[in-house]
């Protein structure tokens, strides 16, 4: 187990190093640098001022030199300064990460609970009317664009019924627990509905396949109660492929909730990374993307451990 952990750590470090190089290079290849973009909107910006600013932001150096400098500083714990937020990168990252955690954890947990229930119900009577309704719901969740779903929820609950706020993370002067929770309801609901459809399909497929296996038949023949057959024998085995999908989705959720965060004005990781890439904020984009990579790697690692727990035949070596 120790050897496995060390191996995974080394793997993680190598992946992060390669990713940092690739991301830095790709952002560097984008046309126009921040000073050029700035110059387009400042009438009095002279070539001398432009050259001075490029030197200050290190943009006058070759890409590889800049990357090497960033890497050395990052290894020492200094991830640099965000040009678009005028703050050190970690100061920008921390609140965005917190907001994303609230959104993601809530929607992920709800999606898992809902999809497990719906997938199970569906799989018990495949082809029945309940299965058809759940499948319809699942397909709708998969195929409806997130921005449209968000807009419909805003129009229904904020504009029409006026039950919930349409956007933001809290009301100025309040920001209490309930206030923040109210602001989270619609974005969490959007993400939950979008994810539940996908997860439900996987749970349903895995359960249908597992329920047809010999060991399930044997359990039934041995007289095990139907609930025991489903929850103890079948569900545990069906979970192995489902856990992989969920683990991968969890990593993506950390950086991929861009649309939901934009629609509900939530300053989370997805929106922060997107904005920083567009505005050539190298340090912030790079650190944000590396963090998202790290979360994906950790989620995969957690999935590996979950396999071992779910299926005793799997050992971590």
Binding site for another protein (CB under 8 A): 30-33, 36-47, 49-53, 55-57, 81, 83-87, 92, 95-96, 147, 150-151, 154-155, 158-159, 162-169, 171-173, 178-179, 181-183, 185, 262-265, 267, 271-272, 275, 278-279
Cβ 78 to another protein shortest distance, Å: 12
Rounded to 5 degrees, φ, ψ at 33 are -105, 170
CB-count exposure of residue 3 (10 Å: 0-12, 13-18, 19+)? exposed
Q: What is the CA radius of gyration of the chain?
A: 24
Q: Which is nearer to another protein, 92 or 286 (CB)?
A: 92
- Of 6 and 42, nearer to another protein (C-beta) is 42
Alpha helical stretches, state H, 30-145: 34-41, 47-56, 63-75, 89-124, 129-143
Least Å distance, CB 241 to another protein, is 30
We find the least distance from the C-beta atom of residue 250 to another protein, in angstroms, to be 24
Contact 100, 245 (CB under 8 A): no
- Residue 171 Cβ, how far from another protein at the closest point, in Å? 4
Residue placing its CB nearer to another protein in the complex, 32 or 226? 32
Q: Which is nearer to another protein, 60 or 209 (CB)?
A: 60
Which of these, 80, 83, 74, lies nearest to 54 by C-alpha position? 83
Task: Identify which of residues 153 and 239 has a Cβ nearer to another protein in the complex.
Answer: 153
Taking the complex as a whole, the smallest distance from the CB of residue 29 to another protein amounts, in Å, to 11
The one-character DSSP state at 172 is T
Please identify which residue in the block is written with the tokens 């929770």. 181
């Amino acid at each position: 187990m120790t050897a496995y952990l060390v191996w995974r750590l080394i793997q993680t470090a190598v992946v992060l190093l390669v990713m940092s190089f690739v991301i830095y290079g790709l952002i560097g290849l984008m046309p126009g640098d921040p000073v050029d973009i700035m110059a387009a909107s400042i009438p009095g910006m002279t070539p001398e001022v432009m050259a001075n600013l490029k030197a200050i932001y290190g943009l006058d150096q070759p890409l590889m030199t800049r990357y090497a400098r960033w890497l050395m500083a990052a290894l020492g714990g200094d991830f640099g300064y965000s040009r678009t937020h005028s703050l050190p990168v970690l100061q920008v990252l921390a609140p965005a990460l917190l907001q994303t955690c609230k959104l993601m954890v809530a929607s992920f947990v709800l999606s898992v609970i809902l999809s497990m229930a719906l997938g199970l119900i569906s799989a018990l009577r495949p082809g029945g009317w309940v299965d058809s309704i759940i499948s319809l719901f699942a397909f709708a969740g998969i195929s409806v664009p997130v921005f449209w779903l968000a807009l419909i929820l805003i129009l229904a609950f904020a504009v029409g019924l006026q039950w919930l706020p349409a956007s933001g993370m809290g009301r100025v002067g309040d920001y209490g627990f309930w206030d923040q929770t109210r602001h989270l309801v619609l974005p969490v609901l959007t993400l939950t509905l979008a994810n539940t459809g996908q997860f439900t399909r996987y749970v349903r497929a895995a359960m249908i396949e597992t329920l047809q296996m010999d060991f399930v038949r044997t359990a039934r023949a041995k007289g095990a109660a139907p609930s025991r057959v489903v929850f103890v024998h079948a569900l545990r085995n069906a979970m192995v492929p489902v856990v992989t999908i969920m683990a991968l989705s969890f990593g993506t959720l950390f950086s991929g909730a861009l649309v939901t965060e934009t629609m509900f004005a939530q300053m989370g990781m997805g929106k922060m990374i997107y904005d920083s890439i567009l505005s050539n904020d190298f340090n912030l984009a790079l650190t944000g993307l590396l963090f998202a990579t790290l979360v994906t790697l950790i989620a995969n690692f957690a999935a590996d451990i979950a396999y071992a727990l779910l299926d005793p035949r799997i050992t971590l070596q």
